[in-house]
Amino acid sequence: MGFVAATSSCFGCKQVFSYNPMRVPSIVVDGTREPVCARCVERANAMRRKNGKPLIVPLPDAYDACDESEIP
């Protein structure tokens, strides 16, 4: 048994971070799912709260590795 953690740049801030590729919050840009880091989610939620929009709630393991069996 192994584990998988993806590493890439955040769509929002361009900082490199690690995440669970199946559960990370993301945005779809030109048909491609782009990951968003926890700090950018916090910033987005501050604006969403101010505008009365629902908050983005990352799954508890969104920024952890996942079991390799979860990868299609």
Per-residue pLDDT tens listing for the chain (72 residues): 799 999 999 999 999 999 999 999 999 999 999 999 999 999 999 999 999 999 999 999 999 999 999 898
CA 64 to chain centre: 10
User: Scanning the structure block, which residue is given the tokens 């299609």?
Assistant: 72
The per-residue pLDDT for 44 is 97
29 domain-assigned: yes
42 domain-assigned: yes
41 domain-assigned: yes
62 domain-assigned: yes
72 domain-assigned: no
Rg (CA), the chain: 13
- Domain that residue 26 falls in: 3-67
The per-residue pLDDT for 68 is 92
The per-residue pLDDT for 1 is 74
Kindly report whether the global pTM for this prediction surpasses the value 0.95: no
Which one, of 13, 21, 4, 17, lies nearest residue 40 by Cα? Answer: 13
> Which structure tokens are listed for 27?
């945005």
Tell me how many domains the chain contains.
1
The per-residue pLDDT for 5 is 94
> Which structure tokens are listed for 50?
């101010």
47 domain-assigned: yes
